[in-house]
């Protein structure tokens, strides 16, 4: 296994138990790195998070794939960090992709209005395909989190289509713009 320091010199010099970060090079895409986040990002650890990801960008990685499946919480300050990374890499021809975001974390992105600025994918393969297409694909609002209009259960749709509410079993339709209707 390749160590974080061999990919980004000095990366592991500063550790934080509240947020563990593992790095892996993405061979299929130039200047790309896979960043697995485990823990949470809040006001107290966001500056450390910013410093560590800035080291990655300074090491020449401009295409950042964040796996957020083990990211349990992100405060508004943490979301500000992701926005800063986007501002860092875009002028260098790079981009940021977020993977496997837990619904409670995605909800914070949505509530603050930031979900539209980020490319969010469900799988590593989808992220690689996105970068190989030079990010030219149409902007999508999916996944979208919404409340069932019948029982108010929070639901997540990864695409437009017809779905059944897991709570009340109502049939719902989600259109291309993320609007929800019965039937």
Contact 78, 46 (CB under 8 A): yes
- Over its length of 183 residues, how does the chain's per-residue pLDDT go in tens digits? 467 877 888 787 777 789 999 999 998 888 999 999 999 999 999 999 999 999 999 999 999 999 999 999 998 888 889 999 999 999 998 999 999 888 888 888 777 777 777 888 888 998 898 888 865 554 556 777 888 888 888 888 887 888 888 899 888 888 877 778 887
Q: Both tokens of residue 67? A: 């796996």
* Domain co-membership, 62 together with 127: yes
Residues 36 and 73 in one domain: yes
Query: Domain check: are 19 and 109 in the same one?
Result: yes
Which residues have a Cβ under 8 Å from the Cβ of 150 and sit 6 or more positions away?
165, 168, 170, 182
CA angle 164, 117, 137 (to 5 degrees): 75
Residues 71-119: pLDDT tens digits? 999 988 888 899 999 999 999 989 999 998 888 888 887 777 777 778 8
**Does 122 lie in the same domain as 149?**
no
β-pair partners for 23 = 35
DSSP 3-state of 182: strand
Q: Looking at the DSSP assignment, which residues form a beta bridge with residue 97?
A: 65, 119
Residue 147: domain span: 141-183
Q: Residue 74 forms beta bridges with which residues?
A: 41
Strand partners, 144: 157
Query: Are 82 and 120 members of one domain?
Result: yes
Answer yes or no: are the C-beta atoms of 178 and 142 closer than 8 Å: yes
CATH number at residue 172: 2.20.28
CA–CA gap between residue 153 and residue 169 (Å, rounded): 11
Q: How many domains does the chain have?
A: 2
For residue 46, give the CATH number of its domain.
3.30.750.24
Q: Measured between alpha carbons, how far is residue 9 from residues 4, 119, 151, 182 in Å?
A: 8, 28, 52, 54
Mean pLDDT for the chain? 85
């Amino acid at each position: 296994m390749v160590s974080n320091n061999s990919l980004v010199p000095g990366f592991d010099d500063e550790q934080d138990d509240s947020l563990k970060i593992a790095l892996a090079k993405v061979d299929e895409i130039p200047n790309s790195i896979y960043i697995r986040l485990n823990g949470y990002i809040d006001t107290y650890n966001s500056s450390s998070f910013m410093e560590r990801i800035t080291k990655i960008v300074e090491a020449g990685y401009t295409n950042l794939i964040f796996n957020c499946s083990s990211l349990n919480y992100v405060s508004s300050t943490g979301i500000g960090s992701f926005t800063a990374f986007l501002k860092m890499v875009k002028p260098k021809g790079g981009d940021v992709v977020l993977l496997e975001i837990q619904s409670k974390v995605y909800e914070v992105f949505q509530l603050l209005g930031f979900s539209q600025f980020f490319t969010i994918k469900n799988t590593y393969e989808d992220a690689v395909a996105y970068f190989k297409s030079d990010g030219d694909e149409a902007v999508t609002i999916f996944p979208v989190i919404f409340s069932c209009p019948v029982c108010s259960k929070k639901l997540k749709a990864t695409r437009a289509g017809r779905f059944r509410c897991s709570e009340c079993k109502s049939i719902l339709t989600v259109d291309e713009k993320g609007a929800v209707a019965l039937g």
